[in-house]
Structures are given as structure tokens and as C-alpha cells.
């Protein structure tokens, strides 16, 4: 009888183990780090595209190429190193481009579409070397087929990591950035096809890198929130201090937004919500945790919600001419 009971017990254990006889373990939690997911949405609803595409990365540059009706992504930091890849996304699939020429690999560069010249403009970023990297000051343009090195080194705006560039009406505008944890910039520049021109007047926002920046088409102004400011007493490799202030830029002048809004937030993104006519600050790090919060500013008040995309920072985000947005990657690793 005892032998029979043991036999039955062994049969039950084998059945629970499955046809291979091995135990069924619960899924192993993903280690936080670079993300490689693709999302599109209008600010209210978001859809994940479960498709093949670029390797996971953060701090990639992304812009919508309105002349060719595709998004263009360049560079970023992958688990294998800093990328020099050029990818396009047509709302359905990613394509790895094979240009004859290309910028050196980099992360945290600025990129936007230039309507006047019908090209995508890339500026600055951090190019890897044997130590902490070289802060770039080069300007490249993308015509849908190949890259052109327009300015190899620029004295103005000069070397910058973490600047932001947006399409602002019929031109591109470059804002901010930093040179290590030594010099942080709060100025604005535009590109005329041959050189960069300063377009703002003092006083300017305190210098910062990795700010959330978006064009407000209703007011013909630029909205800026947060980013990293200088960390006094820190070394050149410090990431900076998260900021919690907001500014608008119009007609050459900067104005602070005095209404209290989001807590200090860095490496966030900004989108323009055409449904509500508001600037939205999405993602980023609220030290030390990544967030998927959405803070919207309507010119008078802030509203606070969450978006249906997992928390992250350093994501590649851009919008098309209808203000639909593409979100790719970023990182969900905690830290500040």
C-alpha cells in the first residue's frame, strides 16, 4: 500500500511539472536599463507597435522629416555602445538606412526638421572616446538619402551635450545644453543653412541640459521645462542638478512661468497636445525614479495625469505635422 501511494504521488508531481518533467518557473523580472519599444499616440491614447526595429537605446535623436513623411532617428546609447545608425519609421515599420556618409556615433544630440531647406538638422551631442567622451559642435543635415557634414566645428553655439532642437514655425531653434559639468547654456539659436544665429536677449533661463522643449503653435512661442543645471563643487563628469522651473520664449524674450508645476524633473520630453492646446511634459526622472507622468500647461494652470506608456527617461520623442507622436526607447533604470 505504501509503495502504491508513493507511485501515485510521483505521477502527480510529474503531471504538475509538465510534459518535459521540468518545473515551470515564473518569468524572470527584466533588469532595468535601455528600452527598445515603439509607441505612437495623440497625447491621450497610445498604441504599442510590436515590431522589429532598432536595438534598445536611450538619448537617441529623433525628428519627423515632413518632406518625406517619415521619422528619422540617429545614434543613442545601446547596451553595446554608442550608435551611429540612422533609422526611419513610417508609422508601420522601422528601416535601417545605409547612407554613404554619416556623423560619428553619439548620444544626447539635438535634431529637428528644417522646413525652409527641407532637411533634418543634427547638432552636437557626446561622441565616445577613451574617457568620458568628446562634446561635439558639428552640424549635419539629412536629405532622406545621405548625411552632409555642413560645419565640422562651430564656435557658436560651440560644443554642447544635451541641447534641444525643435521645429518652430518655418525654422529650427536650438536651446541650451552643456559642456560637461562646467558650463551650462540657456540661450536660443536658429540655423540659416550656413551658420547659427543667436536669437534671444538677456535675461535668459539658467543654463541647462536635457530640458523638455516644445513649440506652441497657438501662441508662436517656445515652452521649456526642467532639465539639469550645474552641480556646484562637482567634477566635470557629474550629471548636474535636476531643475523644476518653466519658461516661455517669444519675440526674442524669455519669460518665467511663476505658477508652481511639476517637481524637479530631468531628461524628460515635451509634446504639444493638439486636442487640448497644451504643452505636455512627459517621462523623465523624479530623483531617483523614472516616471510616466504627464504635466500639461495651458498658459494659466497645470494639470497632472499619467500616460499609458511605462515609465522611462531619455526617450526619443517627436511629433508629425498633425501632432501625432512617436516614442522610442529610453531607459527605466533608476538614478540621478
User: Cβ neighbours of residue 116 under 8 Å, at least 6 residues apart?
Assistant: 170, 171, 193
What pTM was computed for the model?
0.90
HEC-encoded secondary structure of 219-256: CCEEEEECCEECCCCCCCCCCCEECCCEEEEECCEEEE
Q: How far apart (Å, rounded) are the C-alpha atoms in residues 109 and 244?
A: 22
How high is the pLDDT of residue 130? Answer: 82
Identify the CA nearest to 166 among candidates 116, 121, 108: 121
Task: State residue 239's pLDDT score.
Answer: 87
Q: Residue ranges of the alpha helices (H) in the chain?
A: 2-17
What pLDDT was estimated at residue 50? 96
- Cell numbers linked to 153: 566645428
**Closest to 205 measured CA to CA, from 175, 178, 171:** 175
pLDDT value of residue 4: 37
Q: How far apart are CA 295 and CA 249, in angstroms?
A: 19
d(CA 315, CA 331): 7
Measuring CA to CA, which residue among 47, 22, 27, 26 is closest to residue 37? 47
Question: Which residues share a beta bridge with 167?
Answer: 172
pLDDT of residue 181: 94
What pLDDT does 211 receive?
A: 98
- What's the confidence (pLDDT) of residue 335? 87
Q: What's the confidence (pLDDT) of residue 240?
A: 93
User: What is the mean pLDDT, run by run of 10 residues, along the chain of 336 residues?
Assistant: 35 35 48 96 94 98 98 98 98 97 98 98 96 94 98 95 97 97 97 97 95 96 97 88 97 96 95 94 96 96 95 98 97 93
**C-beta separation of 203 from 187 below 8 A:** no
Per the document, the length of the chain is: 336
Is there a contact between 176 and 207 (Cβ–Cβ < 8 Å)? Answer: yes
Amino acid at each position: 500500500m505504501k509503495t502504491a501511494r508513493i507511485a501515485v504521488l510521483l505521477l502527480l508531481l510529474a503531471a504538475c511539472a509538465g510534459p518535459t518533467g521540468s518545473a515551470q518557473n515564473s518569468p524572470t523580472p527584466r533588469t532595468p536599463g535601455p528600452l527598445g519599444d515603439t509607441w505612437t499616440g495623440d497625447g491621450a491614447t497610445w498604441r504599442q507597435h510590436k515590431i522589429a526595429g532598432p536595438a534598445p537605446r536611450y538619448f537617441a535623436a529623433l525628428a519627423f522629416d515632413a518632406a518625406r513623411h517619415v521619422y528619422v532617428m540617429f545614434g543613442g546609447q545601446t547596451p553595446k555602445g554608442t550608435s551611429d545608425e540612422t533609422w526611419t519609421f513610417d508609422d508601420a515599420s522601422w528601416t535601417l538606412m545605409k547612407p554613404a556618409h554619416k556623423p560619428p556615433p553619439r548620444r544626447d544630440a539635438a535634431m529637428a526638421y528644417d522646413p525652409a531647406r527641407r532637411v533634418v538638422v543634427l547638432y552636437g551631442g557626446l561622441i565616445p572616446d577613451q574617457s568620458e567622451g568628446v562634446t561635439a559642435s558639428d552640424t549635419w543635415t539629412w536629405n532622406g538619402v545621405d548625411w552632409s557634414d555642413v560645419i565640422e566645428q562651430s564656435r557658436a553655439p560651440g560644443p554642447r551635450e544635451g541641447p534641444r532642437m525643435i521645429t518652430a514655425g518655418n525654422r529650427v531653434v536650438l536651446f541650451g545644453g552643456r559642456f560637461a559639468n562646467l558650463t551650462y547654456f540657456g540661450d536660443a539659436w536658429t540655423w540659416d543653412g550656413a551658420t547659427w544665429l543667436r536669437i534671444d536677449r538677456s535675461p535668459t533661463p539658467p543654463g541647462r541640459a536635457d530640458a523638455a522643449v516644445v513649440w506652441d503653435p497657438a501662441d508662436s512661442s517656445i515652452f521649456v521645462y526642467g532639465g539639469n543645471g550645474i552641480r556646484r563643487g562637482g567634477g566635470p563628469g557629474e550629471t548636474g542638478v535636476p531643475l523644476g522651473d518653466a519658461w516661455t520664449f517669444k519675440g526674442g524674450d524669455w519669460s518665467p512661468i511663476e505658477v508652481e508645476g511639476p517637481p524637479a524633473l530631468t531628461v524628460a520630453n515635451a509634446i504639444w497636445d493638439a486636442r487640448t492646446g497644451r504643452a505636455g511634459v512627459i517621462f523623465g526622472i523624479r530623483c531617483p525614479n523614472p516616471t510616466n507622468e504627464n504635466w500639461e500647461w495651458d498658459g494659466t494652470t497645470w494639470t497632472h495625469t499619467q500616460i499609458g506608456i511605462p515609465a522611462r527617461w531619455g526617450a526619443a520623442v517627436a511629433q508629425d505635422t498633425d501632432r501625432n507622436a512617436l516614442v522610442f526607447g529610453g531607459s527605466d533604470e533608476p538614478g540621478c
